[in-house]
Amino acid sequence: MSDTAYVQLLNLTAGAVLLCAVLVLWRRELAVIIRLFAAQGVALAALIAVLAWHEGSPELAVLAAGVAVLRAGVLPAVLRRALGTAREGTEPVREVRPVVNVAASLLAAALLTLLAFAVSRPIVELAPSPATQAVPIGMAVVLIGFFVLVTRRRAVSHLVGFLLMDNGITAVGFLTTAGIGLIVEVGVALDVLLALLVLQVLTGRMREAFGNTDLDELRELHD
């Protein structure tokens, strides 16, 4: 792969990862948000595949395939199952009362992206390369995921926010080290999957016990 093609593909895939995170803030239908998370998993796998192609690393290629299966297939399927457990009636489940509205959320995403570029500047300057120059995008995804986690009310939205953060951390790990090792990635992936399965069970229990997965309404029950 030529250096020009490598840089273009790297920027394209990293930009797609960030775009999916921003679109999660824009949309309110949880089914659409899960599809956006799956699309981000595809973009993340493509980013790793570009690194594998450039490095000529079969291990990275295997990791790219594993990331695609886990983050674009298995985890979205678990989220859809949790959404089915949390579904209330026949209407699509939506974020009807987010803490921050759409316009403010998109503005916050822009500010968080600028913050990520500012915070990541020392890393980029330490070892300048096309890969490290994309590190701020991964940091921005981590911050946006945390923003989703603290501003959404639905339990499923909280799961998506947590997984967005994990995708961002994974992207930063691969961009800074050209791969974090097969054993480490498999271990982290299994931990994330286990945590998501536990949270899915808790979501189902919340629905059965309280008839809702809106965390604010559950706080009112506590009060």
Which tokens go with 217?
A: 């309404």
Domain spans, the chain: 3-222
> Cα 48 vs. chain centroid, distance in angstroms?
15
| Cα separation, 186 vs 80, whole angstroms | 23
Phi and psi (nearest 5°) for 94? -130, 160
Which residues, other chains included, contact 77 with Cβ-Cβ below 8 Å and sequence gap of 6+? none
Give the 3-state secondary structure of residue 73: helix
> Is 37 a residue whose pLDDT tops 50?
yes
Q: What is the pLDDT of residue 18?
A: 96
Q: How many other C-beta atoms lie within 10 A of the C-beta of residue 50? A: 25
Q: Among residues 30, 217, 54, which one has the least CA distance to residue 209?
A: 217
pLDDT digits (tens, 9 = 90+) for 145-171: 999 988 887 878 888 888 898 899 888
Q: What totals of helices (H) and strands (E) does the chain contain, helices first? A: 10, 0
Q: Is the pLDDT of residue 126 over 70?
A: yes
How sure is the predictor about 181, in pLDDT bands with cuts at 50, 70 and 90? low
Tell me: pLDDT of 138 over 80.
Answer: yes
Q: How far apart are CA 122 and CA 117, in angstroms?
A: 10
What SS3 state is found at 124? Answer: helix
Is the pLDDT assigned to residue 196 strictly greater than 70?
no
Q: Mean pLDDT lowest for which of 40-54, 64-78, 94-108, 157-171?
A: 94-108
Query: If pLDDT is split at 50, 70 and 90, which confidence band does 204 have?
Result: low
Contacts of 22 (CB under 8 A, 6+ apart): 106, 109, 144
Measured between alpha carbons, how far is 113 from 199 in angstroms, rounded to an integer? 28
- Taking each helix axis from N to C end, the angle separating 155-177 and 182-210, rounded to the nearest 10 degrees, works out to 170
Q: Six-digit token pair at 75?
A: 């985890």
- Residues 198-217, buried b or exposed e (16+ Cβ, 10 A)? ebbeebbebbeeeebbbeee
pLDDT at 186: 57
Mean pLDDT of 195-221: 54
Which residue is listed with tokens 């791969």? 179
Residue 220 has pLDDT above 50, yes or no: no
